[in-house]
Amino acid sequence: MVESMQSPEKRSPERGASKRGAGVIAAYLRTLPGSPGVYRMINGQGDALYVGKAKNLKKRVSAYTKPERQSIRIRRMIAETAAMEFVTTHTEAEALLLEANLIKRLKPRFNILLRDDKSFPSILVTTGHPFPQVLKHRGGRKSKGEYFGPFASAGAVNHTLGVLQRAFYLRTCTDAVFSARTRPCLLYQIKRCAAPCVGLIGEDGYGALVDQARAFLRGDSRRIQQRLAMRMQQASESQEYEKAAQYRDRIQALTRIQAHQDINLQGIGDADVIGAHQAGGHTCVQVFFFRGGANFGNRAYFPSHAREDEVAAILEAFVGQFYASRTPPHQLLVSQPLPDQQLVEDALNVHRKAHGKRRVRLLAPQRGEKRKLVNHAVANAAEALSRRLAESASQRRLLEGLGRVLDLDGAPDRIEVYDNSHVSGDHAVGAMIVAGPDGMTKNAYRKFTIRGASLGDDYAMMREVLTRRFSRALKEDPDRTGGQWPDLILVDGGAGQLGVAVEVFAELGIDGVAVAGIAKGPERNAGRERIFLPGGDPIVLGARDPVLYFLQRLRDEAHRFAIGAHRAKRSKAVTKSPLDAISGIGAKRKKALLHHFGSARAVGQSGLADLEAVEGISRSMANKIYDWFHPEG
């Protein structure tokens, strides 16, 4: 009897594992409430497999105790479940917000994931100064002032800032530069600033320009343009032709930005238009940003999801995660109704209420001008997905070709390329870039600050970088299940650098990772690269071989990243003051010393009495500073 009960598990290990996982889940049901909340499924390594929300936790979780009724993908998830965690909430809307935040933070493998989550730039008009600045801003909104955005890209912000300068003559300089000027800068000469720094415009006149710029950023450009046209006419009739020409230039600047609006709609106000298109098991979500009726640009996203997921479910997950850390605008237009549209709208309103905003409306328009906007977003999503699929197919062919050239078991899914950069050993850094089926994986790039023992020795630097990288990998992911282990390592260099990599892997006991070196040909001639493999002769590919071009791109990207890291480190060292090395000298004391003496060199040449005269410098601190600059005394 026992054997007959066990035999189905032997015939179907997955079914047996699903039953074990279902048993783990069932054990929680006795203590689960029937209230809203969020649940997490966790595997044996403690990683989150899935995050879900429920109106009734007990009822929702009980569905997972019957794996035979679930899809193959969900059965696999149940089979891997070793534990669960729960959080109860007051409402289902709160549960939806918490679910979105947890998915963004934990990135569970079985959830629909929004992978590209970069912050958006905005424009800041500062307050707290008689003559406010207009600036590009990205990140937390901690500075005082009024923010306008988001803009889809830095290019869109820069373009708009250029218009603001041409149309409203607002300053962009810092307060320190502003207070130190004694004559107008170049921006005044080319009619990009009103020069309030030297009194060429008063506070009231500059304030009027700032008010106009704010109105423009809120979408009231046509009214401003009409007012400027009237003033241009008045100046012309009064024979003030130079002033009339200035008004003309400002009008032209406003006209140009209106002409650049690819798609516009009167009366739309603040809205995000979100369209999704699915093909080949992949989905693209295109978001257009409208603020004050003006188009602030668009951006494409490619969420990670299972092939069987429906577009509406993907769109709902996208909206939840996209606005988890952003305040949604007054209106969201989506390309199709969401499965729980009212619930999503309620959750977004909880978010907006916390920021003191009026309610958001979530609409899936079926006709009219708003539907045209949505159709435009969907068309852009379809085009972006088509390009993405074509690029992916081309990338996959290159990876397969590389696998054949290097005699790998198949196309590598993760390639890591290593390079070092320094000048005579100074400011040395190591760099790692990552590539795979989706191209360059820039969020996986890493920089390594080279420590003293390796400086100036290229082989020692490569040894240090690889040892640190894979010692950490062995510690954090010894089973290689976290998706962070490469299939192929490429080092920039020939047999010597390759030999270092092989030695490091032997010392760490790592196998199963292919290693190769790529070196330029004689006289560092690009196009005649040689590929070095352990224990074999160098491989030379044809000058027009696509795989060679691919390897060159990988090597050049690693070199670019390493050079950039080196230059950033060198620039930081150049701007560092000798005062930074003195214990007890923080930003406030450093500022006081520099303001008093004018330079760090003058501080070093000062006597004890002069140092004590500086505000915030006690006698003991003055002695410490003096001793630092005069160690022989």
Cα–Cα distance measured from residue 116 to residue 301, given in angstroms and rounded to the nearest whole number: 7
User: How confident is residue 262, by pLDDT bands cut at 50, 70 and 90?
Assistant: very low
Beta carbons within 10 angstroms of residue 260's beta carbon: 13
Task: Give the angle 250-253-254 at the CA atoms, nearest 5°.
Answer: 90
Which region, left, alpha or beta, applies to residue 107 given φ > 0 means left and ψ of -120 to 50 means alpha?
left
Question: Residue 30: what residue type?
Answer: R
Q: Are 276 and 378 in contact (CB under 8 A)?
A: yes
- 271-285, 343-357, 364-378, 513-527, range with the lowest pLDDT: 513-527
Q: For the CA atoms of 574, 183, 131, 210, what is the dihedral angle to 10 degrees?
A: -110
User: What's the confidence (pLDDT) of residue 71?
Assistant: 84
User: How confident is residue 133, by pLDDT bands cut at 50, 70 and 90?
Assistant: confident
Beta carbons within 10 angstroms of residue 299's beta carbon: 18
Q: How far apart are the first and last CA of the chain?
A: 93
Q: Is the pLDDT of residue 150 over 50?
A: yes
Helix %, strand %, coil % of the chain (to 5)? 50, 15, 35
pLDDT digits (tens, 9 = 90+) for 213-232: 887 777 666 677 677 777 78
Q: Is the pLDDT of residue 331 over 80?
A: yes
Cα–Cα distance measured from residue 103 to residue 112, given in angstroms and rounded to the nearest whole number: 9
- State the average pLDDT for the chain: 83
User: How confident is residue 9, by pLDDT bands cut at 50, 70 and 90?
Assistant: very low
Q: Is the pLDDT of residue 364 over 50?
A: yes
User: How confident is residue 121, by pLDDT bands cut at 50, 70 and 90?
Assistant: confident
User: What's the confidence (pLDDT) of residue 424?
Assistant: 56
Q: Is the pLDDT of residue 417 over 90?
A: yes
- 28-42, 75-89, 208-222, 258-272, range with the lowest pLDDT: 258-272
Q: How far is CA 283 from CA 114, 307, 383, 389, 565, in A?
A: 11, 9, 11, 10, 34
Q: Is the pLDDT of residue 12 over 80?
A: no
Q: Find the helix or strand (DSSP H, E) in which 76 lies.
A: helix 72-80
Residues 6+ apart with CB under 8 A from 203: 130, 131, 196
Cα–Cα distance measured from residue 572 to residue 599, given in angstroms and rounded to the nearest whole number: 18
The pTM of this model reads 0.64
Q: Is the pLDDT of residue 260 over 70?
A: no
Say if strands 331-334 and 271-279 run parallel, antiparallel, or are unpaired. Answer: parallel
Q: Is the pLDDT of residue 483 over 90?
A: no
Q: What is the DSSP letter of 113?
A: B
User: What's the confidence (pLDDT) of residue 466?
Assistant: 93
User: What's the confidence (pLDDT) of residue 173?
Assistant: 86
Q: Where are the alpha helices (DSSP H) in 406-457?
A: none
3-state secondary structure 247-267: HHHHHHHHHHHHHCCCCCCCC
Q: What domains are defined for the chain?
A: 17-106 (3.40.1440.10), 122-259 (no CATH), 271-387 (3.30.420.340), 415-573 (3.30.420.340), 578-629 (1.10.150.20)
CB-based contacts of 536-543 (< 8 A; 24+ apart in sequence): 538/494, 539/405, 541/405
Picking from 362, 281, 265, the residue whose alpha carbon sits closest to that of residue 314 is 281
User: What's the confidence (pLDDT) of residue 253?
Assistant: 63
Residues 454-482, mean pLDDT to the nearest whole number: 84
Q: How far is CA 166 from CA 82, 117, 260, in A?
A: 62, 33, 16
Q: Is the pLDDT of residue 111 over 50?
A: yes
